[in-house]
């Protein structure tokens, strides 16, 4: 699905099914430097549960045109333009990592709009290691190796190669996309206030051995949100949608159907 926002094409993977405004819509937002591809094991499953599914590519990512947006606040405003353009009012937002910050800020700016929020491997703040930022700004592919080291519970399990490297596979993508995303995460400061203001049903899913968003840090986030539920996936790191998409997506559907 192509959505035109500010004269630029935004790509949303919709599982090959047209938007049916009589159905509940789930908007999926990927993390730093990534694209809709991270939801490949999730979006068809959710679609088969009779939901509209829109897995967005952020500006400058994947198949979406334009430059990357440099702040979480700007991306939240961009998301509102999409929602207004496709004219939906019955939707949930599901974010991973940076996508959680976007969902969080969106809910703060537009508190009556999303019916549910689902945070996957998220926190109310995501400080980024300066070494990683510097490597990314310089276009070094070592930044991807660090993401793999910190991002997975067991990076050796990917016999066919690191899935992140299949999405971020050039020096330009590291410097022009990943670096901007990492800095946006590092600069976001409204998380505590935004989390305390959430007033819709909320689900948190964490990886037990996540090194990027530790379980303790994740629970600090969930404790800020009333009317929330938490699920921890055993032996799982930060890249939950790769490491255990099956348990993750089942918990999402259970939450949405209650």
Q: What is the pLDDT of residues 152-171, one digit of tens each?
A: 776 555 555 667 777 887 89
Q: Which of 177, 179, 178, 187 is nearest to 71 (CA)?
A: 187
Q: Which domains does the chain have, with CATH numbers?
A: 2-126+188-257 (3.40.50.1820)
Confidence of residue 146 (pLDDT cuts 50, 70, 90): confident
How many CA atoms lie within 13 Å of 59's alpha carbon, on the beta-carbon side? 21
Chain segment 71-87, per-residue pLDDT in tens: 999 999 999 999 999 99
pLDDT, tens digit, for every residue of 169-200?
789 899 999 999 999 999 999 999 999 999 99
Cβ 36 vs Cβ 153: under 8 Å: no
Total-model pTM: 0.95
Torsion angles phi and psi, residue 186, rounded to 5: -60, -30
- pLDDT value for 101: 98
pLDDT digits (tens, 9 = 90+) for 28-68: 999 999 999 999 989 999 999 999 999 999 999 999 999 99
pLDDT digits (tens, 9 = 90+) for 100-143: 999 999 999 999 999 999 999 999 999 998 989 999 999 998 88
């Amino acid at each position: 699905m192509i959505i035109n926002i500010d004269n630029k094409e935004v790509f949303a993977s919709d599982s090959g099914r047209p938007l049916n405004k009589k159905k509940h819509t789930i908007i999926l937002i990927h993390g730093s430097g990534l694209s809709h591809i991270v939801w490949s094991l999730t979006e068809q499953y959710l679609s088969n549960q009779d939901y509209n599914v829109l897995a967005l590519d952020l500006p400058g990512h994947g198949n979406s045109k334009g430059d990357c947006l440099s702040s979480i606040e700007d991306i939240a405003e961009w998301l509102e333009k999409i929602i207004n353009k496709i004219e939906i009012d019955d939707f949930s937002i599901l974010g991973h990592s940076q996508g959680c910050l976007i969902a969080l800020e969106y809910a703060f700016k537009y508190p009556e709009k999303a019916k549910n929020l689902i945070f996957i491997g998220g926190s109310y703040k995501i400080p980024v290691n300066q070494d990683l930022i510097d490597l990314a700004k310089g276009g070094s592919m070592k930044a991807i190796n660090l993401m793999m080291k910190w991002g997975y519970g067991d990076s050796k399990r990917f016999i066919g190669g690191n899935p992140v490297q299949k999405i971020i596979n050039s020096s330009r993508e590291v410097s022009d996309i990943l670096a901007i995303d990492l800095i946006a995460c590092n600069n976001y400061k409204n998380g505590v206030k935004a989390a305390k203001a959430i007033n819709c049903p909320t689900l948190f899913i964490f990886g037990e051995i996540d090194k990027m968003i530790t379980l303790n840090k994740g629970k600090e986030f969930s404790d800020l949100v009333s009317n929330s539920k938490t699920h921890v996936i055993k032996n799982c790191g930060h890249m939950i949608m790769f490491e255990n998409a099956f348990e993750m997506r089942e918990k999402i559907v259970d939450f949405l159907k209650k």
